[in-house]
Structure 1
C-alpha cells in the first residue's frame, strides 16, 4: 500500500484527505491518505524519516516555508515561489510543484467574460501567488490588496468606487469566512459591487461564504473554491504517478 498525505497546521477540516480517500476507494487504488498536522515546518524532516511516502500535498501555512526542504522545484513553482505538491523522485530527491494555479485557472475560465480584464487579489499569502501566476497566464491585470500593503499594492481602506468599479474580478485568498468563523469576510466596500463583477472565493467550506453572499446581494456572479480544489488534486495525482 502506498501512502500519500497532506502537510499543514490545524488541518482536521482537510478537503484533501476526504477527496483522496474517496478516490482510492472508488477506483480500487491500494493507497492511503494521511494528514501530517505539524506544529512547525521543522517537523517535516521527522515525517519523511519515519514514513515511506509516495507523494504529499502542502497547505497553509507551509506553502512557502517548505521550499528550503526540497531539492528542486518545477518551472511553475519556481516562478510562483510557493509549493502545494511534493513528488518523491526515484533517486530519492524531492521536487516541489504548484497545482493551485492550474486548478484556479481551469476553474475560472468558464466564468470569464470579456470585461473581466482587471482583478483584485485579496491577501498576499502563499495561495495568492498561484492565483497571480494564473492571472498572468490569462493576461488579466491584477493588484494585490493587503492589510499591510507594500509598494504597488492597495490597502483595504483605499478601495473606493473607482477601484472596485474598474476591477470586475475579485478573488478572496484570505481565510476569512472559513468554517467555523462563517460570519467573517474581507472588508471591502460592497456598495460598489455590481452585476458586472465576478467574485471568486477560494474557500469551499461553507459552500457560500459571507463574502459571496454580500456580493450576490449586489447582483455579482459568485463561485467558491471547490472546483479548483478538485482540479488541483487531480493534477497532483498525475504528477505523483508520472
Structure 2
C-alpha cells in the first residue's frame, strides 16, 4: 500500500473519502491508499510541502483550509483562481503543486442529478466560505437568475460575490443578507434552490435555518453528506432534498482523474461511499 494521497483538513475523521477513493485505486489495480491527514493551522505549510516528495500524487483539501492553501501552491487552474479556493492538489512530475477546484463542477453535476436546474433559478446560499465560493461560482456560470447569500458576516459574503463576478461575464441579481435579517424569510420563499454550504449541522444537532422558513416547493441541498437536521426539517415541510454525498463523489471522481489520468469508476466510488456512510451511522 502506498499512502500517496489524502485529505487535509480539521476535522477529517468523519470523511468517507478514503473508502471511495481507495476503491477507485483498486478498481484500476493501483496500490495507492487514500489517507486522512488531520492538520492544525500551524502544521498546514509543512503538510502541503510534504506533497512535493517523490511518490506523492497530491491531496484533497477540506474545511477550513480551501483558501488558506492557495499561497502554498505553484499554480492554480482557472476555476480555483476564480473562486480563490482549492479542494484538490496535484503533484506534477517536477514536484510542483497544481491547485484545482473540482467542487464547482461536482456541485452542478450533483444538483442536476437531483432534478435541480440552476439556469434561470432564484437561489439562496447559506455561507460564504470556500465551499460556498464554489457553489456561487457554479450557480453564476450555470445561468442562475438571482443569488441571495446569507451569512453571519455580510462583508465576507460581499467580498465572495465580488470575487466571483470579477471572474465571470455573467450578471445575475445578487443580494447579501445577515443571518438574522428579517428579509431572509422572503428570499427563501421566493427561491427554487436553497443550499447550505456551512458546517452547521455537522454535529447532528444544529441547523442553519429555522424550519418554518422552508417552503414545500424548494429543492434543499446540504453539502454535508449526512441526514442533517436541516434536511430532516425540509422533508417534514414537504421539500425535496439532497445531501452532499453525490457532490462528494462527483468532485472526488474529478480529483481522481487529475491525480491518475484514468477514468474514474463513478459507480464503484458511489457504492463505496454509500457503504462507508452506512457503516458510520
> Which sits farther off after the overlay, 150-159 or 165-174?
150-159
Gaps of 5+ in 2: 159-174, 262-281
Q: 2:209 aligns with which of 169, 187, 203?
A: 187
CA contact (8 A) 1:115 1:168 kept: no
User: 1:210-240: per-residue Cα shift (whole Å, max 9, x none)?
Assistant: 0011111111111100010011111001111
TM-score by length of 1: 0.90
Q: 1:163 aligns with which of 170, 187, 190?
A: 187
Aligned length: 237
Distance (whole Å) between structure 2 residues aligned to residue 45 and residue 203 of structure 1:
25
Summarize the Cα distance change of 1:94–1:213 in structure 2 as closer, same or farther, 3 Å threshold.
Answer: same
Distance (whole Å) between structure 1 residues aligned to residue 185 and residue 97 of structure 2:
47
CA contact (8 A) 2:54 2:95 kept: no
User: 1:154-193: per-residue Cα shift (whole Å, max 9, x none)?
Assistant: 1122244422211221100111111xx21111034x3242
What does residue 95 of structure 2 align with?
A: 92
1:134-173 to 2 correspondences below 5 Å: 134-140=138-144, 141-150=146-155, 151=158, 152-158=175-181, 159-173=183-197
Say whether residues 1:212 and 2:231 are aligned partners: yes
Which SS does the other structure have where 1:153 is aligned? strand
Structure 1: 4+ residue segments shifted above 4 A: 113-116
Distance (whole Å) between structure 2 residues aligned to residue 114 and residue 42 of structure 1:
37
Measured after TM superposition, the shift of residue 115 of structure 1 is 9.2
The alignment's C-alpha RMSD in Å is 2.0
Which SS does the other structure have where 2:86 is aligned? coil
Say whether residues 1:221 and 2:224 are aligned partners: no
TM-score by length of 2: 0.78
Q: 1:129 aligns with which of 123, 126, 133?
A: 133
Gaps of 5+ in 1: none
Measured after TM superposition, the shift of residue 22 of structure 1 is 2.5
Which SS does the other structure have where 1:53 is aligned? coil
1:1-242 to 2 correspondences below 5 Å: 2=2, 3-40=4-41, 41-45=44-48, 47-48=50-51, 52-110=55-113, 111-112=115-116, 117-140=121-144, 141-150=146-155, 151=158, 152-158=175-181, 159-178=183-202, 181-188=203-210, 190-204=211-225, 206=226, 208-242=227-261
Distance (whole Å) between structure 1 residues aligned to residue 187 and residue 127 of structure 2:
16
